[in-house]
């Protein structure tokens, strides 16, 4: 095309490439070099195709840590780091970090029971809580710790317990048990 008298800009538009690529190709053409790109230099891949299969199949069985997979490959005669295994998993297998599924510590029934208890005892005074003979020492020990603070501010002890239970339900964990 350049021999036909076209400019590099026109050649770039006709071939749908950038002008800098057209310039680079014209220089290679003038030198008589090939336009075929040479293989890239750099570090060759550590993982062999057989190792890729081992990693992919081990993921199908159960989720494993990258350190365990690296140890498995080391036992097969290919010592690789866990970082190399992680890079392979994220780039080629499209698997991210393993995250355990969070299991709520309280069932829905436990949440409802605790909330109903808190609502039922919402208006209790300090003396009512002192007379309370429930089978949990949590309430009495918590009461002894917080009584002076609550009475000093003129608040009722029941509001503290209701707030305490509601916050524990929102966070999804057992409070003190």
Average pLDDT, the chain: 75
In degrees rounded to 5, what are phi and psi of residue 107? -75, 170
Of 67, 40, 69, nearest to 53 (Cα)? Answer: 69
**pLDDT tens digit string along 36-84?**
777 777 888 888 888 888 887 877 777 778 888 889 888 988 888 988 8
Q: What is the pLDDT of residue 153?
A: 46
Q: Side-chain half-sphere of 145: how many Cα atoms within 13 Å?
A: 8
The arithmetic mean of pLDDT across residues 88-111, rounded, is 78
Q: Tell whether the model's pLDDT for residue 1 goes beyond 60.
A: yes
In degrees rounded to 5, what are phi and psi of residue 54? -60, -45
Q: What is the pLDDT of residue 163?
A: 64
Q: Which of 6-15, 23-32, 115-124, 128-137 has the lowest mean pLDDT?
A: 128-137
Calculate what percentage of the chain has a pLDDT beyond 70. Answer: 70
């Amino acid at each position: 095309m350049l021999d036909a008298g076209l400019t590099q800009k026109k050649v770039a538009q006709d071939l749908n490439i950038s002008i800098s690529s057209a310039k680079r190709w014209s220089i290679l053409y003038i030198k008589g070099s090939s336009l075929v790109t040479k293989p890239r230099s750099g570090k060759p891949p550590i993982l062999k195709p057989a190792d890729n299969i081992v990693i992919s199949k081990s993921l199908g069985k159960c989720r494993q840590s990258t350190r365990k997979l690296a140890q498995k490959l080391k036992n097969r005669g290919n010592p690789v780091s866990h970082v190399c295994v992680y890079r392979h998993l994220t780039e080629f297998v499209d698997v991210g970090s393993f995250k355990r599924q969070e299991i709520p510590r309280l069932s829905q029934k436990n949440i409802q029971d605790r909330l109903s208890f808190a609502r039922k005892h919402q208006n209790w005074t300090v003396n009512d809580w002192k007379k309370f003979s429930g089978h949990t020492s949590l309430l009495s020990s918590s009461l002894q710790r917080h009584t002076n603070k609550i009475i000093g501010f003129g608040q009722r002890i029941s509001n503290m317990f209701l707030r305490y239970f509601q916050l524990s339900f929102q966070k999804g964990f057992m409070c003190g048990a």
